[in-house]
Chain A
Amino acid sequence: MILPDKSLILPAQLETLRESHSSVQIEFRRVTKMYGAITAVKDLALTVRQGEFLTILGPSGSGKTTALMLLAGFISPSEGDILIGGRSVAAVPSYRRDQGIVFQSYALFPHLTVRRNLEFPLEMRGIKASERANRVDRILKRVHLKDFGGRMPSQLSGGQQQRVALARALIADPPVLLLDEPLGALDRNLREQMQGEIKSLHKEFGITTVCVTHDQEEALTLSDRIVVMRGGVIEQVDTPEALYDRPATLFAANFLGEANLLEETGSDVQAERSRPFGMVAIIRPERLRISTRGAPRSPDADQRQSVIGMVTDTVYAGAQRKYHVQAGTRMLTVREHVASGQQVYSPGDQVRLEWLRSDVRFVTP
């Protein structure tokens, strides 16, 4: 166990401390958290860079919330260490960590007005009343709630509560912002709007942010990097684009978007010589091209592979049309952008599915 540094730090020193570790802000060093016999997080090793927006993505029970709670200091690791700004915080209680947190249910104090809620973190830091009022005014304006300072949280809509929660987390300029399923309680339209809001606030404040979510769209739009977790272990860490385009595991591929397994579809992918040992071939639904079985082949046919299958189901979803096609023993999903003059297939139609060899990815199953 690494002993916490009990030395006294002056604010000025703190600044240099923050800057000197500007590249890495948060570090998990082989952190394990056990609840009795259950391991919630196992050997977690992860770094978050200064100013980065990192999202931990995973299904419920994947340990993502535990990781966040460890970082917030509400629970302490069973093994390993967590460093913030280069300092071990294993023994530092949450109220001395200087973090802004947006809780899943917002946790706005129901007995305080919006203004008093926003003043709370400033008061705790010993900031004078006049300065507090200034800061509150500024941030209320920033989150478009200028006239709502006198309201009680229960008198706000869900979106407004969300913005107050964000403002409260940011108002004291903490170096780290933690978001716990921040948009889970909002409806779809509002969620998109708030995603934009969070993104612009993050850019404006330049604050290192760790967000936990199970919503892949949220993760893709907001993050600089995404951590995919499963069963307490990290599956993959990468930028959203890389993660989507080059998933390392079948789980990551399926959790972030959809993936078609190409095994046992009757295609020649199994004969592919470049296929690494122990891996399976997948392809994203939007990379598949659907055409009538007997249609003439495209000129670049030598770069393509294909299978023959039967449409079992079609789903129309506005901009896209989804086909489920039975090929071999597999069910493949095809996603096609709706365009005018396009041929529409119905269940029972025999079709050919084609794809570029270069679009096939090999992942660990």
Chain B
Amino acid sequence: MVPFLKLSRLSIGLTLPAMAILLAVFGVPMVLLLLTSFNAPAFTLANYQAFVDQPANLRVLSQTIEISLVTTALCVVIGYPTAYVIAASSKQLRATLIGFVVISYLTSLLARTYAWILILGDRGLINNFLLDLGLISSPLPLIYNRTAVYIGMVQIMLPVMVLPLISVTVGIDKSLMAAARSMGARPFTAFRRVFFPLSLPGVRSGSVLVFVLCLGFYITPAALGGVRDAMLSTFIAAHAKSSLNLGSTAASSLILLAIAMIVISLIGLDLSGSPSRTPKPARKTWLRLLPSSGLITRYLNELAVPCRAKRWTAQLYRAGTDDRLLKIAGAMFVVFVMLFLLFPGLVVIVMSFSPGTFLEFPPSGLSLQWYRSFFSDASWYAAAWTSIQIGIAVTILSTIVGTLAAYGLSHTFPRLRTVLSMVILTPITFPVIVVGIATYLGLVQLGLIGTKVGIILAHTIGATAYVVVIVSATLANLDRRLENAAKSMRASPFKAFMRVTLPLIRPGVAGGAVFAFLHSFDEVVTTSLVGGLSIRTLPLKMWENMRHQLDPTIAAVASLLMLLPVVWLIVLYVTWWKSKPQALRAIRDAAS
């Protein structure tokens, strides 16, 4: 018992570095933010009262919720059929399609938003095309309105919805559908009664993720929306920068956080990544809070019974209809979605080679002038260099800290693991703007505002969360007996980790590192708050450019950013591809 306790205490210790950074940069300031919002030590509701008293605030709040809800709904409607078709396709096709979705997911948010400006803008792709055809005489108002916000947000959020959906639907045993059909369920009934209920966990986590991310969304609505489409996050950011009244900023941040927390706790979010095939029936959902819903469906089912009885005997042994049309429709839908996800990026890349004084599609010639301007303009490449430096530092720090934490978590009691993982994941489950404000407060206290160290720490908390998610998922799939086998061959716990576990989870660690780098390289909300005036990262510079002047150099930068995830995917592929023989070698080494 004693060594067991010691061991578990030791593994908890591995989460300490991650926890320390998180608490200093984010945890303590979060508490401060809470206290400030209540005017501690007076503890009044004055700040909340002030928020509620302003009709404009309430309008922005309801608008934020509305935009988030509509975006989530659109993502479900588009994402579910997409995931269904992808999951049902052949193995190679599935891998390719998932690859496309992942590339879209990993592509810089700024670059993708910028792409929509190029497509929807007054002198953008669509308007130019229609003007050229003579269909319209003046540009259509495609941008700076709610529709543009939805188009941009859905494109950015769709991968967040589709990826969890795919992972759930691929895991559904195909023989279940076959079983339902063998019992006389028509294809649609089999889908509705068996496949759909089993895919609900994916719908649930996808929706919650999308909704919560939308709540804190900042870049896309500000870039594509009109003045009347402001989100609460834009509002908070403006407040934090201009006013000295921290109390009202704190109150509005916490209101946003409260909404996110309510949604998460009601619907439930499973980021643990452990592949559990069997759904947990005990899970509380808001659907279960309504005991009548099951009764109603059952009642409706009962009404359909006589009709079904007639149909069953009438149609027994009759030839089936051809479902080829349905398959073609599904394929076309997925093609359309893939175009929607990837086309904007291609547009930017093509346009970045425009020879004229502004961007055009299709380019009338081929010119590298914008690339030249990127590499010759000191302010651009200095920003890029700063981002690379910060990105590398964040990657190294968060990969080490996150891997240790994930390993520590995998060796503790399940209950403690759940609590600690939830804490470590807060930087990516809380609305971005709330994380930004809290981090800002934390770095003010540490005196690190406007320093690279400050930005690195600010990025590390989010990056660590990604590393923990990915490495934990890899560890969950790892056979624990391998490590025990190494220990039985007299390898110390450290040696066993280095020689067996680490080589085996290396794909996960590499994936986590890539996510950490991309997270840092694309971060703009927190950076804009904590960067002060002295530090310009590439995303910051891009963001300022996008808002103020549309220097076409940005197209070259965006194109380079689009290539980044592709490069990383190739790097990852090579590591993963190489890791298989290495894993075997690791076991052999440990044995010898």
Contact = CB atoms under 8 A, between A and B. Distances in A.
A and B interact physically: yes
Interface stretch (B180-188, B285-293, B472-480, B498-506): B180-188
Given A4-B319, A92-B317, A104-B175, A152 B281 contact: yes
B183 A126 contact: no
B307 to A, nearest CB: 7
Given A107-B175, A125-B312, A120 B279 contact: no
B201 to A, nearest CB: 10
Interface stretch (A9-17, A28-36, A291-299, A315-323): A9-17
Given A97-B182, A109-B179, 19 more contacts: A9-B314, A11-B313, A73-B182, A89-B317, A91-B320, A92-B318, A94-B181, A101-B179, A109-B180, A110-B277, A111-B279, A111-B281, A120-B180, A123-B305, A124-B184, A124-B312, A125-B309, A128-B302, A154-B278
Given A6-B319, A14-B313, A91-B320, A109 B181 contact: no
B189 A109 contact: no
Given A107-B176, A124-B189, A127-B305, A94 B182 contact: yes
B315 interface: yes
Contacts of B313: 9-11, 14
Interface in A92-115: 92-101, 103-105, 107, 109-111
Interface stretch (B140-148, B191-199, B230-238): B191-199
B300 to A, nearest CB: 12
A121 interface: yes
B190 interface: yes
B301 interface: yes
A72 interface: yes
**Interface size bracket, A side:** 35 or more
Contacts of A127: 305, 309
A149 to B, nearest CB: 15
B318 A110 contact: no
Given A94-B182, A97-B182, A110-B278, A4 B318 contact: yes
B305 A126 contact: yes
A129 B173 contact: no
Contacts of B187: 95
Interface of B: 173, 175-176, 178-187, 189-190, 193-194, 197-198, 277-279, 281, 301-302, 304-320
A8 B302 CA distance: 25
Contacts of B320: 91-93, 96
B175 A125 contact: no
A96 B173 contact: no
A85 B186 CA distance: 22
Nearest to A120: B183
Contact of A121 (B183, B277, B279, B316): B183
A74 B301 CA distance: 27
Interface centre among B184, B193, B301, B314 (most CB of A within 10 A): B184
A26 to B, nearest CB: 13
B317 A126 contact: no
A168 interface: yes
A101 B182 contact: yes
A172 B277 CA distance: 28
Given A74-B178, A101-B179, A127-B305, A121 B317 contact: no
Contact of B184 (A9, A125, A128, A129): A125
Which one of A85, A101, A124, A154 has the highest number of Cβ atoms from chain B below 10 Å of its Cβ? A124
Nearest to A90: B319
